Structure 1
Amino acid sequence: MTAPTHDQPLVTVLIACYNHAAYVEASIMSVLNQTYPNIELLVIDDGSQDDSVTVLSALQARHGFDLQVQENQGLSRTLNAGIARARGTLIVPFGSDDIMLPHRIATQVSYLAEKPEVGACSANVETIDHHGQVMGAREQRHRDLPFRRLEFDDLFLGRKPGPSAATLMFRREALQRVGGFNPEIRLEDIYITLAILRAGYYIDVLGEVLAQYRDHPTNTFKNGRFMIDNVLRTYAEFSDHPDYERVCMRFRNSMFLKFAKNNKPLARETLKQIPLRHWNRKTVRGLFRLLAPRPPQHPS
């Protein structure tokens, strides 16, 4: 990195690691290799049970970033504690399993300059597998989306694709205005983006790839019950919206369809929570999946 100048704001990158020993070195090195010179890196291990602390300690000894090791507090509490210690005016919570492209921070800092109405900036991502290999075109749902400016209803009502958590850069003042992350909600990115939009800021999503999102067996979105519980808990924070019930039922229908084939008990439980008046095409498609006979198992 070149030396920072007075007109380059300090960016604090927060990496909270939990059982990502296999991935966290690539994540940290992608931050250290940024072309932007004025970065503060805070790394927190949140009670990992694997070899993460050993990996992090060796990296910290070589590169000198700020490392804290703590008992498990959960991601939202960990990020709030990191924000309280951060010195940057721009805050980047970053997954310990994802990878930044080298120009990511520089691109977003430049974009946010002179745009005080934008509380957060995001961008597209490229999906990689757990080995770091780029996945096929069918898995690249967030790689080629166009630029979009989001208001609250755009995200809450699903009018436009939302921001990618792997590329979020927040203004510190926006995080402070909404009180930071909600410690009672473990799916942190949906809540914080909705809260910032509700506070009157825009979120702008750039139409270029600035990070690689790692798809692996322990991704949060693959835990169906966790996703359903935490998304609905997030929506409940905005229950005064006139379309609150419709938004919740739209989400339940999507989850019913998603899990009707591979998690039938969760699908049946979800279906019971969808009144007939809220059934739609996804409900019908999910019913076909749910009731379809299993293919015969051939002996090996």
Structure 2
Amino acid sequence: MKWPLVSILVPCFNHELYIEESLLSVLEQDYDNFELIVVNDGSTDASAEKIEALRQVHGFQFYQQENQGVSAALNNALSHARGDLVVTHDSDDVMLAGRIRRQVSYMQEHPEVGLLGAKVIYIDSQGRPLKHKFASHAPVQRWSFDELLADAYAVGGPVAMYRREAIDRVGGYDPSIKVQDFQMTLRIAKAGYQVHILPDRVTLYRRHETNISKTAYKSQLIYDLKVIEAYRDNPAYDAGRLAIINKALKESVVADKPFARGLFASLPVHRWNRVTWKRFRHFMFKYRKPKGAQ
């Protein structure tokens, strides 16, 4: 039996509106040396039924578990994966044509890379493109560990291709960190692998009201601060902590002003950067209308 080079892992939780389009975008790639592994993470909607209907036609692997979070679902998928390269794909996003072939080619040409990212095109809940600017002829970005820590930069699941040996070397995903991309990015870079970002747009990233960045920024703040504690002695630690707090401020300055006020108070003003001051201006002069307001 020929083993696939690429394992594509898709954790799913309550994405019945998007899961069919998401999986078909994987199955219709112009690269066929891959296996698709889907894990339903205790969905309470019709996600499992839609996945099973597709599985009966296309024959991919499908596993179910009680709701344990994305990290646990990815570990479950990894336990069944055989590929030397691993792709993570969110169940509400759409993989663009040629994505797997392009990233596989780059990984084969650059064995020093343990984690390869790329860019996305943002769409709304209905699949309509949102406004965005594309840099023309942008170069491949190469991130060091210190740069990743200082910017709190995470190679997101919707664009990531990992070398399986790198995932295994750092021990897989930590189930206690349910927002997992940042920790995995840092661990792989710290282990000595290079992290590169292609300028290619490889995924339609869906923005809607249930995105973690909108609904769980408080828990993401806790997880991200926990992740960087392992690197407290690194000179980039303080910059990383500020970057993490700035991320939480992005939503909280309009959604939860008391919470945002506490975050501002936790930062000495002389350590604020341009992004912090931008968040503060939003805090002072913007507000979010209550649902149903005219």
**Structure 2 match to 1:275:** 268
Q: Which runs of 5+ in 1 are unaligned?
A: none
Equivalent position of 1:214 in the other structure: 206
What does residue 260 of structure 1 align with? Answer: 253
Show CA shifts across 1:41-89 (max 9, x none): 1111000011111111111112111111111121111111211211111
- Please identify runs of 4+ aligned residues in structure 1 that moved more than 6 A: 141-144, 293-297
Tell me the equivalent position of 1:90: 85
The answer for the alignment partner of 2:19 in structure 1 is 24
Give the whole-Å Cα distance in 2 for the aligned partners of 1:90 and 1:50.
31
Q: Which residue number in structure 2 is paired with residue 123 of structure 1? A: 118
Query: 2:83 and 2:106 mapped to 1: Cα distance?
Result: 17
Does residue 1:231 correspond to 2:215, yes or no?
A: no
Larger Rg: 1
Over 3 Å counting, the alpha-carbon distance change for 1:287 and 1:151 in structure 2 is closer
Instruction: Tell me the SS of whatever aligns to 2:146.
Output: helix
The residue type equivalent to 2:50 in the other structure is V
- Which is worse superposed, 188-197 or 257-266? 257-266
Q: Name the % identity.
A: 37
CA contact (8 A) 1:150 1:203 kept: yes
User: Between Structure 1 and Structure 2, how many residues are aligned?
Assistant: 291
CA contact under 8 A between 2:118 and 2:160: conserved in structure 1? Answer: yes
- Aligned equivalent of 2:96: 101
Q: Give the structure-1-normalised TM-score.
A: 0.87
From the superposition, tell whether residues 254 and 52 of structure 1 become closer, same or farther in structure 2 (CA, over 3 Å): closer
Q: Where do 1:144-183 residues align within 5 Å?
A: 146-158=139-151, 163-183=155-175
Over 3 Å counting, the alpha-carbon distance change for 1:263 and 1:87 in structure 2 is same
Alignment root-mean-square deviation, CA: 2.7
CA change 1:102–1:244 in 2 (3 A) is: same
* 1:12–1:41 CA contact under 8 A, matched in 2: yes
Matched residue SS, 2:147:
helix
- Residue 143 (structure 1) shift: 9.6
- CA shift, 1:165, in A, is 2.7
TM-score, normalised on structure 2?
0.89
The 1:145/1:182 distance shift into structure 2, 3 A limit, reads farther
Secondary structure of the corresponding residue to residue 92 of structure 2: coil
Rounded Cα–Cα distance in structure 2 between residues aligned with 1:294 and 1:102: 39
Measured in 2, the distance between the counterparts of 1:212 and 1:168 equals: 13
Distance 1:238 1:262, change over 3 A: same
Structure 2: segments with no counterpart, 5+ residues = none
Confirm or deny: 8 A CA contact 1:15 1:95 kept in the other structure. Answer: yes
CA distance, structure 2, for counterparts of residue 286 and residue 204 of structure 1: 29
Residues 258 and 116 from structure 1, CA distance in 2 versus in 1: closer, same or farther, beyond 3 angstroms?
Answer: same
Query: 1:184 and 2:187 equivalent?
Result: no
